[in-house]
Structures are given as C-alpha cells and as structure tokens.
Amino acid sequence: MLRKKGTKLFLHLKKWLEKAVLDYNMIEEGDRVLVGVSGGADSLALLDLLNTPMVYVPPFSIIAVNIDPGFDPTYSDYNKLDKYLRKNNLNHYMEKTDIGPLSHSDYNKKNPCFLCSRLRRKRIFEIAAEKECNKIAFAHHKDDIIETLLINLFFGREISTMMPKQTIFQGRLHIVRPFAYIGEDLIKKYAKEQRLPSARNKCPTSNTSRRIYIKKLLKKMERDNKDVRNNIYKALRHIKSDYLPQDMRDMK
Ligand code: SF4
C-alpha cells in the first residue's frame, strides 16, 4: 500500500470512490483486480487511490497493466511509467505493441479509435486471464460516462453508455469503473496535487476524435447552461420508458 495522503481532496475522492465500489459491489474480498494504466493522469490517480487503505471495501490485490500503443518509437513515457511503478513497488505488467500505428494504417483511416480500443481491450482480457484476475478496473469517470452517452447517440444510433460495473464472459470477468461518481476536473487536480506522472497522448487522432468533438460541444453548451453535464448524468437515472417508443419497426 502507498502512504496515506490525507488531503481534503484525497478524502473527498476516497469517499466517492468507495461509495461507487460499494453501491455496485465492484470489489469483493480476495478479488484480483487488473487496473488498466495508460500512463495518463486518470489511470494513475485510480491506481494511487486503490492502493491506499480502504475503510469499507474488503481486502483485494492489484496488478497495474499497461499496453503501450506504440506511437512513440523512443518509448519515453513507457520508461517513465515503468520507473514510477517500480519506485513505488507496485505489482505491474507492461507490454509494447503496434496497435496504434496498425489502427491508423491506410485500410483503416476512417475510424482508428474503433480498432484501437478493440485491440487494446482484447489484449487486456487476455492478460487478465493470464494473470488470473477476475476484475478489470478502468479509470473512466463521470464525464466519460456523459460523453460516451452522447457519442453513442450522435454517431452510433443508440442510447447507451459505459456502465459502472459490467459482467462479461458468462460472469468470469467483471469490468468496474470506481470513478463513476467522480468528475474529470477533480481527478486531474488530484493527480497534480500528488505529483503523479502524466503521459501526453501521442496519438495523431487524439485531438480530432469524436470524444474531443463532444467535449468541445459540451463546453460550448455549458456557457448557456452550466448544469448541462450534471443534467445529462442525472437523466441516466430518470429514464421514462413509457415515453419511449416500444416498437420502432413502423417508424421511418
Ligand atoms: S484517440 Fe488514438 S489512442 Fe485513443 S482510441 Fe483513438 S486511436 Fe486509440
């Protein structure tokens, strides 16, 4: 376990992280949790918080897993992350891949994110099996949930988003998102406060992705309605199925 960092922000994040974990029964005694670590502020903040003593969550073990997408031939962020994990004596596994360049190859120029996330996720599942983990924790937060809802609605023609807890492979594996109640701004603030290393995303699509489009759109909307993000988030708990078409077959 890392040293306890009793700042006000630390206590606030721990409270909401533990609440999400308990509300969704994300972690049970003896779980082996694979924590997906990209090297960015969000995932390192999650790893950091999961590695500090819990008040109500039962004991569990952790392995941090990094899949380097291969955008940087010098592997400077990979090496920095490796150094940080070693220095803090954190159980970890890292892998260099060519998933990034492959997803941007000529035959897949249209939507590199789809292939990139699919390949990375596939490899994460394989590593979870190799390391005998029954849970995979991702650092997706409240803002990711809001943005994904809009991405799926605007581009995927469906109403869906990331779930705080998702069961896959007939219950053999669970994906959990302990930051489901916490906004991105507080997580970034915490990473800065604790001086966690943060890798810059070197992907050529990172500034033009659908997520960035939605982020910019929400920012614009927030100028007129500062509650817009919270309202979308809360709407997920107020689904009025009676006011949704039950049978769309006749609709054009
Ligand atoms: S922005 Fe880049 S790294 Fe992120 S999912 Fe898309 S292709 Fe992959």
Mean pLDDT, to the nearest integer, of 161-173? Answer: 95
250 has a pLDDT exceeding 90: no
> H/E/C letters for each residue in 41-56?
HHHHHHHHHHCCCCCC
Q: Which atom of ligand 1 is found nearest the CA of 209? A: 1
Instruction: Determine what percent of the chain is predicted with pLDDT higher than 90.
Output: 84
Tell me, in angstroms, the distance from the centre of ligand 1 to residue 9's CA.
30
**Distance from residue 208's CA to the centre of ligand 1 (Å):** 10
For residue 208, the model assigns a pLDDT of 80
Which pLDDT score is estimated for 194?
94
| Pocket, ligand 1, Cβ cutoff 6 A | 69, 103, 112-113, 116-117, 203, 205-206, 209
- At which residue do the structure tokens 């949790």 appear? 33
Q: Can you tell me the distance from the alpha carbon of 76 to that of 31, in angstroms, rounded to the nearest whole number? A: 32
Cross-strand partners of 137: 35, 176
Give the nearest ligand 1 atom to 206 CA. 1
Quick check: 196 and 48 in contact, CB under 8 A? yes
- Distance between Cα 242 and ligand 1 center (Å): 37
Protein residue with its CA nearest to atom 3 in ligand 1 = 203
The pLDDT tens digits for 79-137 are 999 999 999 999 999 999 999 999 999 888 778 888 999 999 999 999 999 999 999 99
Contact between 159 and 152 under an 8 Å Cβ cutoff? The reply is: yes
- For the chain, give the mean pLDDT: 93
Contact 176, 164 (CB under 8 A): yes
Produce one character per residue of 185-221: b if its CB has 16 or more CB atoms within 10 Å, e if not: ebbbebbeebebbbbeeebebeeebbbeebbeebeee
Contact 117, 103 (CB under 8 A): no
- Ligand 1 center to 70 CA (angstroms): 11
Residues 6+ apart with CB under 8 A from 41: 187, 188, 191, 192, 196, 198
Q: How far apart are CA 187 and CA 13, in angstroms?
A: 8
pLDDT digits (tens, 9 = 90+) for 59-82: 999 999 999 999 999 999 999 999
Pocket test for ligand 1, best of 206, 210, 212, 213 (most atoms within 8 A of CB): 206
Please state the rounded mean pLDDT for residues 8-35: 97
Q: Residue 119 in contact with residue 99, Cβ under 8 Å?
A: yes
Ligand 1 center to residue 65 CA distance, Å?
17
Cα of 200 from ligand 1 centre, angstroms: 12
Given a cut of 90, whether residue 251 has pLDDT beyond it is no
Q: Which of 3.40.50.620, 1.10.1520.10, 3.40.50.920, 3.40.50.720 is the CATH number of 8-239?
A: 3.40.50.620
